[in-house]
Structure 1
Amino acid sequence: MAAVVPIDSKNVVCPPLGESIPFALPHAITVSLPTWRDNVGYLKGEKRVVDVMTTGYPRFFIHRSVGKLSSICESKFGLPNERCMLFPKDYIANHFRDFMIRYSPNRENPLQVRLAVWIAKTEGTPASLLVPEIELHIVLFPSDVFPLAKQFWQHVGLGIPSRSADAFLATVDLQGKVSSSANSTSQSTAHIKLDPEELNDQAPYTEGYCLPMTAESAIIAKRTIRHRIARLVSNNEVFSPPGQDELNMNAPGLGGVSEDDVFLFPSGMSAIWTAHQLCLATSPPSKSVCFGFPYTDTSKVLEKWGPGYYLFGDSSETSMRELEALLSAPEAPRILALFCEFPSNPLLRSVDLCRLRAIADRHDFPIIVDDTIGNFVNVNVLPFVDIVATSLSKIFSGAANILGGSLVLNSKGRHYSALKAKLEEIYEDIYWPEDAIHMERNSRNFVKRVHIINHNAEAVCDFLHTRMSSPGSIIKNVFYPKWQTRETYDAYKFPVPEGRGCGNFGGLVSVKFTSEKAAHAFYDALPCAKGPSLGTNFTLTCPYTILGHYWELEWAAQYGVDEDLVRISVGMEDKETLFSWFKIAFNAAAKAVDKCS
């Protein structure tokens, strides 16, 4: 197995406002928001925050390379006062156009949305080793409805990735050089058109990973990822060392899952969106059920595509009975599908999947579970559901430099045949080859990293939980599967490997404070990296409710997701470093509260 990626404190201890995390990484997927005020400023669009942001989470922030390519496309194809969004395939562009028209501000005068296609040959650029050409689908719309367009980009997660944009920009740059040198000698033109053998020597590696960036490598990487996931969800087996995963690729794990039941996507949200589209395509249109507090974009997908959803937001016994009552009524509605998380984000509550399975079987609908927080190593959810959706961008990758997602179908589920047939019909592999190569490399030591993070997170939570119990504590509650719905979580987690000394509770914890003052001071003083996302190899913290629900704080609070919640994704740092960080933050919060008393 590959060695665990070392922690470099220069890259992960809180960079300045707006810098990428990890620092100076061109395709980093999170950004530094060091203070509570910075997070609020980001949500409000304050100039002091937005203007210094070098990057951001790619579904929420248009990467600089994507923005540059969009500007070129607007100049080349657009009319005055038009902007555009860029997608890798025509079917996504069509979904986007339909979305824009359906949600036109003036329904009686639908938006004028235009489509264009630009196909660039990659010959002469490093991308030629990956693909012979890059397909770009450009959707143009009035510039004043860009916020509406941004909703699709965020909810669906199917826009072009930043590495693809860089590759396309390289072809544009090359064409510009060739055009500008049209009157030059043939010798200078030949210098621009790089020889393939020269490319093999000079451009096969990127970001220091020493991975060959070729089409063949991408095919192997995608198959390896799928096989890796299949083996993990089947029997939690620790896979072979790098280079040996390709052996016996078609052999399923003990649970019967093969790589043919694993489908890859460019982001976790695109996997969830596709799961919902799949249900809409295999059943009559009807509302879904969201059981438990929903991730913000999951709820928007269920709301904006199809007839909507029923929300049972606290996933309690009361919610379970309310669901059963709804479905047992004389005129009970038909349910399209049930969506839930295991455990939930951010309160780390677990739902009784066996009980939900029984309800779903009685009323004939599939269950889709998002196991991103629990992950393939810690929880065993596939036997109880029809589809497992996972954001591979999180702990499966860990490096915060790549997006990715997956769907796994339960081959023993009652809906398997219909779901598999339709998914194979509609599925297109649009995972950018370079992204897949990075994801495969990042995930080689996934199992080992998860066990380290499990151990660290439990130690940090014990530290915080002990202080919660002390007189006059500033901590009101610590949310972690060790204490939240513990019996339910234990029923679905994989056995803890002997000698691990921890409970496989995962790396995520949320803390509720006795006052906003304490929460703000704790967050501001914590020396670790601070920004959106989770599941990173390094500790990453955010004010979750502010980032996810700033415009609906009262709604979130009714489900226990309070404004002062701080979510901590614990990383792989040594425990002494972690304890020192949290002592600093705890003391700063206590001092801030004392000053106000």
Structure 2
Amino acid sequence: MPKIETEAGYAIPPAPRHSITVHLPGWYNATRFRDRHLHPTLLGELKSMYPRIKPHPDVVVGQSPTAPKGCLLFCTRETAEECRSFALDPRRPETVLTEDQISIRVFDVESRFFAVIIPAQKMMSIIPFWINPGLGISSRMAEEALGKIELLREVNREEEEKGMPVREESPAQGVLRERIVGLLERAPVGKREKKVQPGDVYLFPTGMGAIYGLHRLLLKRENKGSVLFGFAFHSTIHVLEDIGPGCKLFGKGDDGDLDALEKYLEDEAKEGRGIQALYTEFPQNPILNTPDLVRLRALADKYKFILAVDETIGSFCNVDVLSVADVVITSLTKSFSGYADVIAGSVVLNPSSSQYSALKPLFEDSYTNEFFNADAEALEKNSRDYLTRSHILNTNAARLVEYIQTRALDPSSSVAKVLYPTVLPTLKHYTPFMRPATDEFTPGYGCLFSIDFASVAATAAFYDNLNVHHGPHLGAHLTLALPYVMTMYGHEQLGFVGPFGLMETQIRISTGLEKFEALLEEFKVALDAADKAKPEEGEKVESS
């Protein structure tokens, strides 16, 4: 492949205005991102970034780093008030604000914005609420508002109480619901009493927004804790822990954790307590273990909790979990969109679930559609070729894993192991939920895998010599590599995440649409460089 020439801090090509990626080439830049608290100017240097991590330039336009006030912008009063509650939560004593330090002001630019305003120097204390729940305004909403900035006006409480400005839903949102239903009902697995209908599909501004949206609606029904089974994407545990009474983590997600979960549920029941929901990823990001959904379903039936399955990594072209899940969560940002220029999420209620009669009224009464029309239109266009792209993503990932696995089996190789459903013991939990092949599409195992190296030196050498784009995101049109664990968790949390299989020596790979032969040659070069790398003095070398 041609040498990657994208500049550090810029989006991967074609880098449109609403790109959600950033290219951070090489191990040095990865360590800078890991140690970003030591590099306070780093985020400012990035011309593009995932907009939950760093607000898009259109969102923050007009705010100056030296201004006395900073703000976060949301689409509804409810979300703004939840941000305010987060800022005042005494469980976070090191960052908690006082009542006089935070206010909410409301503005109209034909659309309505709710601004949570705090002293600028305190912004880092509430930025987790922007990052994790993922309900801040989108870049396209901000772009539209900037185009009408002369219409900006503040709204008083009396006017606000009269209701929000009416914005008709774009036809694209209806098309997306229909498309998602068609994919969920295509080549189904197992028996279901009822088919999913478009009205069972709820759209959200981000994938994390979908998780947070479900979680906060369930808290309205019962203020009970949750369980996260198997380690999940970085922000999920924060949402479940920070909002509501808390979350119990079973981070390995294996048979041992299933036994421990069953004992936990039994003990809770004896004390007259229980959980409201269990969340799990299918498979898990970034270690690709697949949970035993059959056994989780049995526990959900016995202890009457909601089983919410995030199948983003498997993706609903490949897997069908509706025979067991009460709720299916998907980050539509990933392979469903596929072009790294729009963020979105969905929650689908399973009409065959025994929980449906309780969940459906809850959503009908309390769900607010915060998904912006222009984002829906971009997503609808992107997802038209979802199946075609997914075939290429599946094939590239599976064939690369097949080759790298041969290196892992060589005792002299720097590759300690490959993490992908096909080469892990938990494959037995994945295959029962694979859709049958049709003339239209043959299912696979997704675009994401991780490589665990024998040493940090080998990991760095591989990363420095891998000629693909480096940065966060998955399911894009171009291949992306990232030392996910190192950059997301840093030195401080390695001791916490290590027992769950998340290692500093891992590189997460999301395959793109490039020709396989070209990708394979690039990986061979990088793997050869890793094999030649010598561990640093005193570094522990893992056995392969």
When the two structures are superposed, what TM-score results if normalisation uses the length of structure 1?
A: 0.82
Q: Structure 1's 13 and 233: CA in aligned 2 closer, same or farther, altered over 3 A? A: farther
Which runs of 5 or more structure 2 residues have no equivalent in the other structure? 154-166
2: CA distance, partners of 1:107 / 1:147: 11
Quote how far apart the aligned CAs of 1:461 are: 0.5
After TM superposition, the structure 1 = structure 2 runs for residues 7-18 of structure 1, keeping only pairs within 5 Å, are: 13=4, 15-18=6-9
* 1:223 and 2:174 correspond: yes
Aligned counterpart for 2:374 among listed residues 425, 431, 434:
434
Amino acid at match of 1:310: K
Q: Structure 1's 138 and 107: CA in aligned 2 closer, same or farther, altered over 3 A? A: closer
Aligned counterpart for 2:105 among listed residues 116, 120, 136:
116
Report the counterpart of residue 280 of structure 1 in structure 2: 219
Amino acid at match of 2:447: G
Q: Structure 1's 163 and 70: CA in aligned 2 closer, same or farther, altered over 3 A? A: farther
Quote how far apart the aligned CAs of 1:235 are: 2.6
CA contact (8 A) 1:19 1:32 kept: yes
Q: Structure 1's 108 and 158: CA in aligned 2 closer, same or farther, altered over 3 A? A: closer
CA contact (8 A) 2:194 2:351 kept: no
1: CA distance, partners of 2:93 / 2:41: 32
Quote how far apart the aligned CAs of 1:257 are: 0.5
Report the counterpart of residue 247 of structure 2 in structure 1: 309
Q: Structure 1's 258 and 514: CA in aligned 2 closer, same or farther, altered over 3 A? A: same
2: CA distance, partners of 1:109 / 1:62: 24
SS at match of 1:156: coil
Aligned counterpart for 2:262 among listed residues 300, 324, 329:
324
Q: Residue deviations 1:317-361, cap 9 Å, x none?
A: 110111111122343631111010000111111111111111111
Report the counterpart of residue 521 of structure 2 in structure 1: 580
Aligned counterpart for 1:101 among listed residues 88, 91, 94:
88
Aligned counterpart for 1:259 among listed residues 198, 213, 231:
198
Report the counterpart of residue 37 of structure 1 in structure 2: 28
Which runs of 5 or more structure 1 residues have no equivalent in the other structure? 1-8, 121-132, 177-214, 238-252
Report the counterpart of residue 370 of structure 1 in structure 2: 310
CA contact (8 A) 1:282 1:419 kept: no
Q: Structure 1's 27 and 108: CA in aligned 2 closer, same or farther, altered over 3 A? A: closer
Aligned-CA RMSD value: 2.5
* 1:143 and 2:120 correspond: yes
Amino acid at match of 1:472: S
After TM superposition, the structure 1 = structure 2 runs for residues 439-478 of structure 1, keeping only pairs within 5 Å, are: 439-478=379-418
Amino acid at match of 1:572: L
Q: Structure 1's 174 and 588: CA in aligned 2 closer, same or farther, altered over 3 A? A: farther
Report the counterpart of residue 91 of structure 1 in structure 2: 78
Quote how far apart the aligned CAs of 1:504 are: 0.8
Q: Residue deviations 1:20-53, cap 9 Å, x none?
A: 1235422110101111221221232326743431
CA contact (8 A) 1:402 1:439 kept: yes
Q: Structure 1's 14 and 588: CA in aligned 2 closer, same or farther, altered over 3 A? A: farther
Q: Structure 1's 529 and 566: CA in aligned 2 closer, same or farther, altered over 3 A? A: same
CA contact (8 A) 1:70 1:85 kept: no
SS at match of 1:582: helix
Report the counterpart of residue 145 of structure 2 in structure 1: 168
Quote how far apart the aligned CAs of 1:232 are: 1.1
SS at match of 1:444: helix
The number of aligned residues is: 514
Q: Structure 1's 479 and 63: CA in aligned 2 closer, same or farther, altered over 3 A? A: same
Report the counterpart of residue 333 of structure 2 in structure 1: 393
1: CA distance, partners of 2:275 / 2:75: 32
2: CA distance, partners of 1:134 / 1:568: 39
Single out whichever of 406-415 and 34-43 deviates more from structure 2: 34-43
SS at match of 2:111: strand
Quote how far apart the aligned CAs of 1:499 are: 9.9
Q: Structure 1's 529 and 134: CA in aligned 2 closer, same or farther, altered over 3 A? A: same
After TM superposition, the structure 1 = structure 2 runs for residues 145-294 of structure 1, keeping only pairs within 5 Å, are: 145-172=122-149, 219-236=170-187, 256-283=195-222, 285-294=223-232
Report the counterpart of residue 53 of structure 1 in structure 2: 46
* 1:66 and 2:7 correspond: no
1: CA distance, partners of 2:97 / 2:400: 56
SS at match of 1:58: coil
Q: Residue deviations 1:98-129, cap 9 Å, x none?
A: 11122464869545211111112xxxxxxxxx
Single out whichever of 322-331 and 464-473 deviates more from structure 2: 322-331
Q: Quick check: which has more Rg, 1 or 2?
A: 1
Amino acid at match of 1:520: A
2: CA distance, partners of 1:106 / 1:258: 44
2: CA distance, partners of 1:593 / 1:534: 30
CA contact (8 A) 1:83 1:140 kept: yes
Identity of paired residues, percent? 36
CA contact (8 A) 1:69 1:165 kept: no
CA contact (8 A) 2:34 2:488 kept: no
SS at match of 1:375: coil
Q: Residue deviations 1:458-484, cap 9 Å, x none?
A: 111011001111230000000010012
Q: Structure 1's 461 and 112: CA in aligned 2 closer, same or farther, altered over 3 A? A: same
CA contact (8 A) 1:236 1:377 kept: no
Q: Structure 1's 14 and 446: CA in aligned 2 closer, same or farther, altered over 3 A? A: farther
Single out whichever of 406-415 and 18-27 deviates more from structure 2: 18-27
Single out whichever of 437-446 and 417-426 deviates more from structure 2: 417-426
2: CA distance, partners of 1:378 / 1:480: 14
2: CA distance, partners of 1:345 / 1:88: 29
Single out whichever of 52-61 and 397-406 deviates more from structure 2: 52-61
